[in-house]
Structure 1
Amino acid sequence: MNFSEKLRLLIDEENITQKQFANDLNIAPSTIGGYVQGISEPDFETLKRIALYFNVSADYLLNIPENKINNLAEEELLRVFRSMTIEQQQLYIEQGKVFVRANNQIKAKKK
């Protein structure tokens, strides 16, 4: 997923308009439109502001892994997790533990 697709996804997930996002960052709406359409890209300072706004890293926005195979997937998981309510986070953690236990059982059976 490239920068423009990720930005579009983040704007949609925040349930805001491109115009609202532009106003929040004090950027021209046409500039944000260019980013979302993939016509233009932000400078470094604007990239940092976008990352801080959505509580993600610039690496996430630019699809750059950090020497870990699943880093981008992990960052996506963390971003989704942070957008949940406390109750949803607790349920999500419990569901994850179920998967871990199931994987451990499968590993034990293979031995």
Structure 2
Amino acid sequence: MGEADYNALSEEVARTIEVVHGHVIKCESPEPGHNRIARRLATHLENARPPGGRCLSVETDIDVVLWRVPKFTFRRPDVVVHLDAVAMEYRQHRIHRTVLELELPIMVSIPLAALTAP
């Protein structure tokens, strides 16, 4: 599936899929616990933004086009942290046994228990 094909879909259908290298991936509705963790993670990341620093946004449930060439790929990640203005260098996160650490654009350590507690 290409970008034009995706854009032609109804909103009802488009919200149920992601496209990876042109292939359609059906997305199941997340369970409440999954949504709770994503919400808490977004809150922790927003609270860790440095005051007066770069203008960072933390978003949930948005479509992110990763690339258009060679094959259209977009995903709908649970949480996205990005600069509001200029493109930035991206470094992958590191997952440890008990803490999620992000190197850029902010440094924050979040106990996984803070995300997964009922």
* TM-score, reference length from structure 2: 0.26
> Using CA pairs below 8 Å that are at least 6 residues apart, which structure has the higher relative contact order?
2
Q: Between Structure 1 and Structure 2, which shows a larger proportion of strand residues?
A: 2
Higher helix share: 1
Please give the TM-score of this superposition, normalised by the length of structure 1.
Answer: 0.28
